[in-house]
Amino acid sequence: GAVVSQHPSRVICKSGTSVKIECRSLDFQATTMFWYRQFPKQSLMLMATSNEGSKATYEQGVEKDKFLINHASLTLSTLTVTSAHPEDSSFYICSAPAGGGGSRIYTGELFFGEGSRLTVL
Amino acid sequence: AQTVTQSQPEMSVQEAETVTLSCTYDTSESDYYLFWYKQPPSRQMILVIRQEAYKQQNATENRFSVNFQKAAKSFSLKISDSQLGDAAMYFCAYRSATRDDKIIFGKGTRLHILP
């Protein structure tokens, strides 16, 4: 099946620094990717939709300047948490729709990366 | 706006027994997808089963099956012959048939398997 790879899986940083998380679709093209945030024992909260070749679309309440999203190519989207603070500590997950490009049949589902646990000290 | 509701925060089932997880949703659209995703302790999201709204037949994947009631906007998941590896968080999810639209998740049901 399609694979979405997310890196790094864990990152610890000091308050005030920036952290970049990469999301790659390994065997299919993804013109759209979604970034979710998940707090402990809670559901996934959509942060933004990453669009290749155009600006990301952010959900209400998500700070655009804090969470920078760049969809550099059809297989790569990045999330940069700028000037991170302890309250930004969370689990971040990216996903991409199956069926983007090539001969892959559109199935409606999303493929998820492994997630990245960010801890800000 | 579409919403997904899972009313059971936690459930427990004896190993080898059958359990049903409930999910209701609200939408004004006629064409959409419904999913059940599993999130084990590793936190990797795993697709369990998928249902296209235009299909009347309930989806089945081995021990997993759904009861899709479109008029009632209900989409429950039945797990038969429960196994220890089924212990996880289960999320019901909705996605419009618009190709690049987001998935909306319910709050999840934590399933415990009792040996």
Q: What's phi and psi for A112, nearest 5 deg?
A: -110, 145
Q: DSSP letter at A42?
A: S
The pLDDT of residue A100 is: 52
CA A9 – CA A66 distance, rounded (Å): 20
The pLDDT of residue A88 is: 96
Q: A45: exposed, middle or buried (C-beta count within 10 Å: 0-12, 13-18, 19+)?
A: middle
The pLDDT of residue B100 is: 62
The CA distance from A28 to the nearest CA of chain B, in Å, is: 15
Contact B106, B5 (CB under 8 A): yes
Written as six digits, the tokens of B92 are 């019901």
How many helices (H) and strands (E) chain A has is answered by: 0, 11
CB < 8 Å to A109, chain B = 33, 35, 47, 50, 95
The pLDDT of residue A102 is: 47
Our CA dihedral for A24, A25, A30, A31, rounded to 10 degrees, sits at: 10
Q: Residues A37-88: pLDDT tens digits?
A: 999 889 999 999 998 888 999 999 999 999 999 998 999 999 999 999 999 9
pLDDT tier for residue A27 given thresholds of 50, 70 and 90: confident
Q: Residues B24-48: pLDDT tens digits?
A: 999 998 889 999 999 999 999 999 9
Closest residue of A to B93, CA-based? A109
**Average confidence (pLDDT) over B53-69:** 95
Q: Which residue has the tokens 């990717």?
A: A33
pLDDT > 70: what percent of chain B?
Answer: 98
The pLDDT of residue A103 is: 43
Per the CB < 8 Å rule, is B100 touching A97? Answer: yes
pLDDT reading at B22 higher than 60: yes
